Amino acid sequence: MHRRAAFLARTLACALACLAPGVAEAQPNEPARPGPAAPAGVPVTPPTLLSDPDVAYPEGATGDATVIVLLVVGEDGAVRSSTPEGADEPFLGAAAEAARAWRFEPARRGETPVAARIKIAITFRAPVVKEVEPEPEPELELEPAVTAPGKAAPRRPKERPQEVRVRGAREPGRTVSLSRTEVRQIPGAFGDPFRAVEIMPGVTPIVSGLPFFFVRGAPPGNVGYYLDGVRIPLLFHVGAGPSVVHPGLVQRVDLYPGGYPARFGRFSGGIVEGETAPPLDRPHGEYNLRLFDAGAMIETPFGPKNRGSVLLGGRYSYTAFLLTQIASDTLLDYWDYQGRATYDLTPDDRISVFAFGSYDYLGQRTATQTITLFGTEFHRVDLRYDRKLGDKGAMRVAVTTGFDRSRAQEDRYVRDRVLGARTELSYYVDPRILLRAGTDLQVDSYDVQVVSGTLAPSVARVASFFPSRTDLAFGTRADAVIGVAKGFEITPGARVDMFASDGATALGVDPRLAMRTEVTPSTRVLAAMGIAHQPPSFVVPVPGFQPGGLRGGLQKAYQTALGVEADLFEAITGTATVFHNAFYDMSDPLGTSPPQLSGCAPGTFPSDTLAGDRTRTSGGFGGGGGGATCGIPRFPPGTIGPDRSGGGQQGADSRGTQTAANAFEVRTRGEAIGLELFVKKKLTSRIGGFLSYTLSRSTRTYEGRSYIATFDRTHVLNTALAFDLGKNWRAGTRFTFYTGLPKAPDPTDDATRLQPFYRVDLRLEKRWQLSKTAWISGVAEWLNATLSKEAIATTCTLGGCQAQLIGPVTIPSVGVEGGF
C-alpha cells in the first residue's frame, strides 16, 4: 500500500525573537547581512503561508516522523533557506524540499516588511496510525538576533511556539489542484494525474471513459493543454488510454475553467496545466506493470555537488498482442517517452532540456486491407534557461521544437512542424506587488501528405479546411498580483495575441481580472473574469488538425466566476462557485447541429456526417439499415479518407462529407451558466474522499434560434471514498452520475432527454516495504465495475425512435507498482 499519508493540516509555526529586517540570503553558517532598519519596539507580525501546504508522505518511508524546519523568509515572502532537523531521511529531504517552494506573506514590524526566521513542525503520519493525534511542540533553540556588523547579538529567552493553522491560497480562476499523491487513490484514474481532470467541477464528459471534455460549456477543441508551459496537442492515448506522460513525472495538475491568469491564452475554453516534479538530489524511480501496458521512470543526479540531473521515462502498450487473441480484426498500439536533463551553472542559473513524445494507432483489419481509424504522434523538445533574480523573482527563456502527425488513412497524413520561443518573468517590484510578464511566439508549418491516389471532390472540400500553409502566433502578456490590504488581493492583467494564417490576420486583446478576499480566517471569496480569443478550432484535440485561414474570424469568450472557499472542519475544505460564459463566433461541430445542416433535431448529427471510410460502425457511431441515426458524429479524421468504392455508397459518403464541410463553416453563439460544488478530505487520510457536483445549462444560438447544446448535461456528480484498512491494505470506491443528452431543441424542456448514466469504479491496493527506500504494491482497479451502458444517440425509423446504447466501456486492471 502507498504510505503517502497526508501532511497534517495543522503545523506549528513561531516567529522567533530573532525577527529582523536584515536576515540575509546565505548558507546556514554564513553571517547574516543587515538590511534597512525598522522602528524599534513595534510588534512583529509573523509570516503567513500563502502556498499550498500539502507535503506528500515520502516514497519508501515507514512510520511517523516530525521534522522541524528552520526557514529564513525574506522581505518578499520567498524562502531563502530551509534547514530540517529532528528526523531521518527520507522525511528530512521531503520536508525541506517542500518548504523551499513555499511563498509567505512576509513578516511585518508595523507596516514594514522584514525578514524572519521561523520554525515549522511538519508531522508525517503513516496511514495505519489514527488520523488525528496530538502533535508535540518542538523545543526551540535560541537564535541570535541580527544586529549591526561587529556587535554581539543579545540572546533572547526561550519561548513556546505559537500554534498557527497553515492554509494554502487558491488562485482565483483555478477550480481544483490535485497532487499525484491524491490522484493515486482515486478509483478509475489508474494513478494518472491528468485523468483526475474528469472529476473536477465544471467538466462534462462526452462519453464515459473517453478523455474529451466540455469545460463550462466550451467544446473539447477549445480546451488547452500545457505541460511545464509547453503547449501539447493532446493529453491521452487512444480510446480510454492513459495520459501521454508517465505519472511519476507529474507533480500536480491544475484546471482553470475560466478567467485564468494572463500567462494562458489562445483558447476560449478551459486550461489544463501539468507541472513536473523538480529534480531531486538523490537517485529515485518507479515502475508499473499492468494488463495492458508497462512503464518506468528513473532519475539520478550527477556532477560535483549533484549540480546536474538526468531523467528517463516511458510507457509501452502490448494491447496489440492481447487484442489479436480476443478480436483478431482490431489493431491497437501506443507508447510514449520522456527525457530531461538539468545542470546548475551557478546557484542562480540553470540550463535544462525536456523532451517527450507520444504515438497511437487504432486500426481494423479486413479481408483485403487494413483500415486506419486513428493514428497520431507528436514530439516536443524544450530548451530552457532559468535564472533567479536574487530575492525578487525569476526569469525563464525557452525555445521549443516539435513535430505532429496524424494519419487520416494508410496513405494520407496531416503534419505540423512546430517552432516556438517564450520568455517568462516573475518579479517583486514591491513586497506587496508581484509582476508577471512574458512573450511567446509559435510558428506552425502544416501540410497534407497524400502518398498515393487523389481525393474525391466531396472529401477534397473537407480537406480544403486544412491547407498546406505556415501559421504564426505572437503574444505578449502581463499581470500584477497586488496585495491592496491585509486579506485583500487583486490581479489585473491583459494579453495581446496576433494571428496569421494562409494570408489572413487577426488580433485578440484579452483583459483579465481576479480578486481574492479573506472574509474570515477560514473563509475566502474568489472572483475571476476575462476575455479569451482563439482561432477556429477542430472538433477534438488531434495533432496537426488545425483549420487554416482564420475563416470566420477569431472565436471569443467572456468568462466570469464568483466563488467561496472555506475550511469546513478538520482537514476538510469546500468550494462553491457560480459561473457564466458567453461564446461568440464559436466553431463547435460537436455542440451545434442546426436543422439546416443535418435534417436531424438540433443538437444532433446524421450518422454519416464525418464518415470517410467505407465501413459501418455499431454502437451509435455508424449508419444503420432502414433509417437515419441522429447523434454523435463519427471521428473526424475519416473526413479525408480514401475513396475506394463507387455507386450508391460513394454517393452516400459524398453526402456525409458534404455535411461535414458545412459543419466546419458554421459559427454560432453559445452560453453556459452553472453552479459548482467541491468538498474534499484528503484521499490519503485514513478515511478520505471528495464530492464534486456541477449544475449547468449550455445552449447554442444559430440564425436566431436557441437550443440545448448537444452535450449538455444538467447534473454531473462524482464522489469517492478511500479507506485505510490497516496492515498496508487500502481500498476505494467512486460513483459517477450524469443526466442524459438532450433529444429536443427546446432549452426549457428537460423531459426529452436520453436516459441518465451512472457507473461505479473500484480500487484495492496492498503494499510491501522491501527496504527503507524500496517498496512494491499490488493494485487491482476496475473502471465501470457495474458494466453500465450509455445512451448517446437516437435511432429513428418509420416505426419510431429509440435510444442507441454503447458499451459498456469498462477497463479492469491488475498490476504491480513499485519504486525506490
**pTM exceeds 0.85 for this model:** no
3 state DSSP class of 128: coil
Residue 53 confidence class, pLDDT cut points 50, 70, 90: confident
A 10 A CB-CB count for 529 gives 20
Q: What is the pLDDT of residues 742-795, one digit of tens each?
A: 876 554 555 588 899 999 999 999 999 898 788 899 999 999 999 999 988 777
Sign of the dihedral defined by the CA atoms of residues 271, 277, 279, 285, in that order = negative
pLDDT(649) > 90: no
More confident residue, 362 or 454: 362
- Name the band, by pLDDT with cuts 50, 70 and 90, for residue 366: confident
Q: Is the pLDDT of residue 83 over 70?
A: yes
Q: Are 595 and 602 in contact (CB under 8 A)?
A: yes
155 is written with which cell numbers? Answer: 540572546
Mean of the per-residue pLDDT values of the chain: 77
Who contacts 418 (Cβ-Cβ below 8 Å, separation ≥6)?
A: 380, 400, 401, 402, 403, 404, 442, 443, 444
What local confidence, expressed as pLDDT, does residue 338 receive? 97
Question: In the predicted model, is pLDDT for residue 130 greater than 60?
Answer: no
User: Over the stretch 597-607, which tens digit does the pLDDT of each residue have?
Assistant: 444 443 344 43
Percent of the chain with pLDDT over 70: 72
Residue 153 pLDDT: 38
* pLDDT at residue 86 in the model: 67
Task: Kindly list the distances between the CA atom of residue 406 and the CA atoms of 512, 534, 644, 663, in Å, as whole numbers in the listed order.
Answer: 35, 22, 20, 21
pLDDT band at 463 (very low <50, low <70, confident <90, very high): confident
- Are residues 544 and 414 in contact, defined by beta-carbon separation less than 8 angstroms? yes
Spatial distance between the Cα atoms of 645 and 668, rounded to a whole number of angstroms: 35
For residue 458, what pLDDT is reported? 62
- The tally of CA atoms less than 13 A away on the side-chain side of residue 126 is 20
What pLDDT, on the 0 to 100 scale, is given for residue 744? 61
Q: How confident is the model at residue 172 (pLDDT cuts 50, 70, 90)?
A: low
Angstrom distance (rounded) from CA 226 to CA 10: 33
Please state whether 101 falls in left (phi above 0), alpha (psi between -120 and 50) or beta.
Answer: alpha
Q: Are 23 and 115 a contacting pair, CB within 8 Å?
A: yes
Q: Are 268 and 218 in contact (CB under 8 A)?
A: yes
Least Cα distance to 337 among 238, 246, 441, 461 occurs for: 246
Element (H, E) at 457: helix 457-463
What CA–CA distances, in Å, run from 184 to 193, 206, 400, 731, 814?
A: 8, 24, 31, 11, 14
C-alpha 320/C-alpha 337 separation (Å) is 18
Instruction: Give tens-digit pLDDT for 467-502.
Output: 889 999 999 999 999 999 988 999 999 999 999 999
DSSP 275-308: EEPPPPSS-EEEEEE-SSEEEEEEEEEESGGG-E
Q: Return the ∠ at Cα 78 (arms to 177 and 109), rounded to 5°.
A: 120
Please give the residue that has the higher pLDDT: either 257 or 656. Answer: 257
Cβ(398)–Cβ(363) below 8 Å = no
pLDDT, position 192: 85
Cα 508 to chain centroid distance, Å, stands at 24
Tens digits of per-residue pLDDT, 415-456? Answer: 999 999 999 999 999 989 999 999 999 999 998 877 666 666
* Per-residue 3-state assignment (H helix, E strand, C coil) for 657-718: HHHHHHHHHCCEEEEEEEEEEEEEECCCCCEEEEEEEEEEEEEEEECCEEEECCCCCCEEEE
Spatial distance between the Cα atoms of 404 and 451, rounded to a whole number of angstroms: 17
The pLDDT, as a whole number, for residue 636 is: 35
Q: What's the average model confidence in pLDDT over 699-723?
A: 89
Beta carbons within 10 angstroms of residue 486's beta carbon: 12
Instruction: Spell 4-29 as b/e; 16+ CB within 10 A means b.
Output: bbbbbbbbbbbbbbbbbbbbbbeeee
Q: Which helix (H) or strand (E) holds 180?
A: helix 180-183
Residue range 615-637: mean pLDDT, rounded = 36
Residue 351: what pLDDT?
97
Cell numbers for 520, please give them. Answer: 474570515
Distance CA 604, CA 627 (A): 15
Backbone angles phi, psi at 588, to 5 degrees: -140, 75
Place of cell 517568462: 424
